[in-house]
Chain A
């Protein structure tokens, strides 16, 4: 799969990578990965720990220069114009972006400012966001006092505040209960319907089934890529979990022996 060129033309893709490579000394963390994500797509980026996911995301978000190949995110070359990329993407990780000692409003205002929104834009979007989440009463509350599920929703909404073209979610649902996870995925779908491309990594294989398409990274390469139905058919598996185990296990065994 990895040697196939991106199926979506570069101009139309939200994320587009060809032969994207990153080495650290003699270690090849990401080895010539080629893929593309369509605009408005919910794209699952799976892989075991150490498979190269984090390094790939760092390159796609303009944080780390590639050693080889090309990648474009939100229409800009990540190596040539990382600043343009950063302005057009949102990012949320399992570890929160929000500051516990600041209030909900102060956090929103801070990230609005960081992404160059005007005071007026911030005020308008914050009001709409708090209304949508039903958080109006909490606006002056310190974030540290909010329950985890609320924080997560708020964090996601803050990542979308500047209306990014692509939002990268790095294991966004770690440590929350299934009900909250379900609610969180509703937010993800809502964002995708609004035209935002969602690039998400997860450890929960049931969540992978919610994605439009998934890729599975093994040892720095993309070992499988397709819709969940396609992958299950290709590997004659009942679930993505099974597909994942089949791909990841030989490597883990090789590594541990």
Chain B
């Protein structure tokens, strides 16, 4: 048996023998897809709308009537002044407010009318849906009354919670999260464990080359990550009907590149961390947190403060999520996504080289 094969067999045994961890790793994608899928309510009914009508003319009254007669909306009141909006939202009396300016009719006739939709961002997903209902009604009404294209511009502001989780889009982010967890975190822990117990010393004195050790560590997790990716996609499709509109092959190739990036980061972390605990903390804070918070998965990049907006560019998950969203939801291919995929490939090359080098340096 070749030295490298022995090593991969050993690593696989470690993974298979730790039943608890394995069960967690295998079931987690299923649990997370179900959790995210069910926790995000996508069909919202009985949205309570407050109308702030500063105009009180025929046009604004007509629009208010249109809102009131929409099945999913319930008009909770028409008030004259803006100051009443925030208390109503705060008290939970209204989910969303529509503000019509005093010169509404005049500007509507000129095609420059603007209305403002303010929604209660405390429940971001609900608010997003409510806001989109109102927007739709306004646009339909405008189309019917203005003839042809909508002439109403809507400006939306989320109160209390300026961030907004993108509903229906959780699968791409989830894929990134699961793959990062399995590839980066598990590899980092597994390598750090050998350092902690002292077996790394023995491996380094053996004829195994450092590169073989790293690749041997990484290979079984590559397999596990793929099983996880397919599970997540499968559950999302079967239970929630989330389709893969583009090429599944391209999706898997992009996932492979992303897994390599994560594995390289795991190796980088473990080559610096003296023990499992440090490796775990570094992977959680340094990789998983940015994957969740700075990749556009949970918080849209556009709603981050200006100084923070460049940061997602260096988070690999940002690019991966863009690719997966493109392939899964828009059905686009390499022609559109070549830039994002190129960035991921470049990250993979640079980080793999850095990881191998760092691992080599640290043995001395």
Contacts and interface: CB of A to CB of B under 8 A. Distances in A.
Contacts of A122: 1
B66 interface: no
Contacts of B3: 113-116
B206 A101 contact: no
A93 B198 CA distance: 8
A63 B204 CA distance: 7
A74 interface: no
A95 B17 contact: no
A106 B199 contact: no
B262 to A, nearest CB: 24
B206 A114 contact: yes
Contacts of A168: 205
Contacts of B14: 99, 101-102
B2 A113 contact: yes
A186 interface: no
Interface stretch (B5-13, B178-186, B230-238, B303-311): B5-13
Interface stretch (A1-9, A82-90, A202-210): A82-90
Contact of B199 (A61, A63, A65, A99): A99
A91 interface: yes
A156 to B, nearest CB: 12
A110 interface: yes
Interface in B193-242: 197-199, 201-209
Interface residues of A, number: 34
A83 B13 contact: no
A148 interface: no
B199 A96 contact: yes
Given A64-B364, A110-B10, A113-B6, A93 B201 contact: yes
A109 B9 CA distance: 10
A61 B204 CA distance: 10
Contacts of B9: 110, 113
A101 B207 contact: no
A25 B207 CA distance: 28
B1 A119 contact: yes
A114 B205 contact: no
Given A63-B204, A87-B207, A114-B207, A95 B197 contact: yes
B180 to A, nearest CB: 25
A225 interface: no
Contacts of A98: 199
B201 A95 contact: yes
Contacts of A111: 206
B18 interface: yes
Interface in B1-52: 1-3, 5-7, 9-10, 13-14, 17-18
A63 B202 CA distance: 11
Nearest to B206: A114
B205 A109 contact: no
A102 B10 contact: yes
A223 interface: no
Given A101-B14, A109-B6, A110-B10, A116 B197 contact: no
Contact of B10 (A91, A99, A117, A119): A99
16 contacts: A65-B364, A83-B207, A83-B209, A91-B201, A94-B198, A95-B199, A102-B17, A106-B10, A110-B6, A113-B1, A113-B6, A114-B7, A114-B206, A114-B207, A115-B207, A119-B1
6 tightest A-B CB contacts, nearest first: A95-B198, A113-B6, A97-B202, A113-B1, A91-B205, A110-B10
Interface of B: 1-3, 5-7, 9-10, 13-14, 17-18, 197-199, 201-209, 363-364
Given A91-B201, A102-B17, 8 more contacts: A86-B205, A86-B207, A95-B197, A102-B13, A110-B7, A111-B206, A113-B1, A114-B207
